[in-house]
Structure 1
Amino acid sequence: MDISPGTGGTEREVNAMGRLRGRLRSLYHGHSQGALRFQLAVMVVDLLIIAFFIASPVLRGRPSFLWIDYSIAALLAADIAARALAAKDIPRWLRQPTSVVDLFILLTLLAPLWLANLGFLRVLRLWSLSRSGFLWRPLARWGYGSWREVVHSALNLVTFLFVVTGFIYTFFFREGSGFAGYVDALYYTVTSMTTTGYGDILLPGMWGKLTSVVIMIAGISLFIRLAQAIFRPYKVRYPCPQCGLQRHDPDAVHCKACGYPLKIPDPDD
């Protein structure tokens, strides 16, 4: 059998790429002890990066800011590349909202001066993290799977809080205000979201009023969502094989929508 000289090298490269993708898939999506430790480490790094994103409106302008910014860009680029290789369908993965958000955040990190006014959107990384299994697998493993809806709603609220704070600081308080201006922006966001309305800090002009209206409406909605997640009866996530209903009572034996027999595993299984 005649085999061209380059065939063996190509096959080795394909096999090596396949092994790499399989290894990354087991690390990012696996349930073994090693995979969970890796996911926990990535989650801790993510939270530290998000803390930097929250503080970046105040830190911008310091000598070390660009160095930290580009270092985080390198970490995020490596993480995005690894997640893409771990995906079974890369084009489909790239179309997911979380992937689009991460790529946009990477763009703001690579062009921090050009996209300085959009830097507050980096906090959306917290929303992206809340949509991945990195947060939920350790919670389920440690017996806190029932808190998923509460944690999810709380993270949505926190993400909105700091995105809006960054927006207000960037466009209304930024010039010469420093950390005090950021605290004012945070204070105004909280009083608007809770509709407290002390009136000691106001956003000027028509755009300030419209911004306040959006904050109040969205803030109330997120608070209601969080309250619902805390106080409504606990449901387990188990899709019905017949109708696809996702949430059921923990002791349900039949789907309440179609009556199909269910075999919901125990939480400790």
Structure 2
Amino acid sequence: MGRSLSASEDRTARDLIQFYLLDHQTPLGKGIDLALLGLNLVFVGIFVVETYPIAAEFRSTLWQLEIGIALVFAVEYLLRLYGARDRVTEFFNGYTMVDLLSILPTLSVVLLPASVSVLNVGFLRVIRVIRVLRFYRFTADAEFFFGTVSDNTLRAMKLLLTILVLLFTSAGLFYSAESGTNPDVATFGDSFYYTVVSLSTVGFGDITPTTSAGRWITVGSILAAIVLIPRQASKILKEWTSRDKVNVTCPECGLEYHESDASHCKACGHVIYQQTDSRE
């Protein structure tokens, strides 16, 4: 009896944790969303500020703040795994993987202090850039901490986020590859400027990559922009052009969105009678 009660209590605790981590309606759920969003903004901002020449005391403060936020995200990550109904599926979830990878560089330096000089540069420094991908978790569905938005608005927000993430990630990777070897890339701002100029195909030529990694990062960024941005923009355009259609699915072939006065599916001819007002 005691073992059964314990299992029931554990399931209740897991359900409660999962609910509030996914909830966007209750005050506590909204508060958690706002807190995580704010911490994520600070987390990303620290990466940018650290690329600029700042006082040693301020840099130390930023490092302590980064450790604190990383620990909060680590607790959130563990709670998501604990509260998930299928922990294996949750572990391999794209958002969850980003959550883990975004805090690994900081936690690695904390847990392996003897290797600080090695872990704070190179590969792990590049990984820190993907912190910005955490913002996609806040656009996973049409419900946010500030309410519910339309599908078209959600697509527009995802398009804007995709552009910002692409610019920021490309700039961070380019900075990691070029800083220290390219005199024109001294800060994240220099790298961001180069990325915007390159992806917009303006190409002033005042900043050019000097390393092979920098060149390949530029090529990859341009290819990613060519693929990702038109794809999401086409979804928005598709939604705008289908505003006059009714979201009815044909039971025969599965075609969605038909004209408001359609009586048969235009793809297979199956009857999909839709009631319309003769006064229109």
- TM-score surpassing 0.5? yes
Change (3 A) 1:141 1:224: same
Q: Does 1:38 align with 2:35?
A: no
Q: What residue number does 1:192 align with?
A: 198
**1:177: how far off?**
6.9
Please tell me whether the aligned partners of residues 193 and 216 of structure 1 are also in contact (alpha carbons under 8 angstroms). yes
1:129 aligns to what? 135
Alignment of 1:1-269 (within 5 A): 8=2, 10-30=3-23, 32-34=25-27, 35-58=29-52, 62-112=59-109, 113=116, 114-117=119-122, 118-131=124-137, 136-138=142-144, 141-174=147-180, 180-234=186-240, 248=257
Q: Which amino acid aligns with 2:95?
A: T
SS of 1:187's equivalent in the other structure is helix
Distance 1:20 1:168, change over 3 A: same
In 2, Cα distance between equivalents of 1:231 and 1:158: 20
**Could you say if the C-alpha distance between residues 239 and 213 of structure 1 is closer, same or farther in structure 2, counting changes exceeding 3 Å?**
farther
Structure 1 length as normaliser, TM-score?
Answer: 0.74
- Check whether the contact 1:248–1:255 (CA below 8 A) recurs between aligned residues: no
The alpha-carbon deviation at position 255 of structure 1 amounts to 7.9
Superposition RMSD on alpha carbons, in Å?
4.0
Deviation of 1:56 after TM superposition, in Å, equals: 4.3
Gapped runs of 5+ residues in structure 2? Answer: 110-115, 275-280
Kindly provide the amino acid, as one letter, of the partner of residue 99 in structure 1: T
Please say if residues 165 and 185 of structure 1, whose CA atoms lie closer than 8 Å, have aligned partners that are also in contact: yes
Cα deviation, 1:183-241, whole Å, max 9, x if unaligned, reads 221111111111111111111154443333222222333443454345443469x8969
What is the percentage of aligned positions where both structures have the same residue?
21
Provide closer, same or farther for how the CA distance between residues 161 and 250 of structure 1 changes in structure 2, counting only shifts above 3 A.
Answer: farther
> In structure 2, what residue type is equivalent to 1:105?
S
How many pairs are equivalent?
A: 255
Give me the TM-score of the superposition, normalised by structure 2.
0.72
- Quote the residue 1:266 is aligned against: none
Q: Which amino acid aligns with 2:209?
A: L
Answer yes or no: is the 8 Å Cα contact 1:50–1:126 preserved in 2: yes
Aligned equivalents of 1:54, 1:249: Cα separation in 2: 48
Q: Which runs of 5+ in 1 are unaligned?
A: 1-6, 264-269
- Cα distance, 1:83 vs. partner? 1.4
| Bigger-Rg structure (1/2) | 2
Q: Once the 2 structures are TM-superposed, how far is the Cα of residue 78 of structure 1 from its aligned partner?
A: 1.0
State the distance in 1 between where 2:31 and 2:265 align: 36
- Helix, strand or coil: the match of 1:116? coil
| Paired residues of 2:24 and 2:30 also in contact (CA < 8 A) | yes
Contact residue 132 and residue 165 of structure 2 kept, 8 A = yes
Tell me the SS of whatever aligns to 1:111.
helix
Using a 3 Å threshold, how does the CA distance of structure 1 residues 149 and 205 change in structure 2: closer, same or farther?
Answer: same
Partners of 1:104 and 1:49 lie apart in 2 by: 13
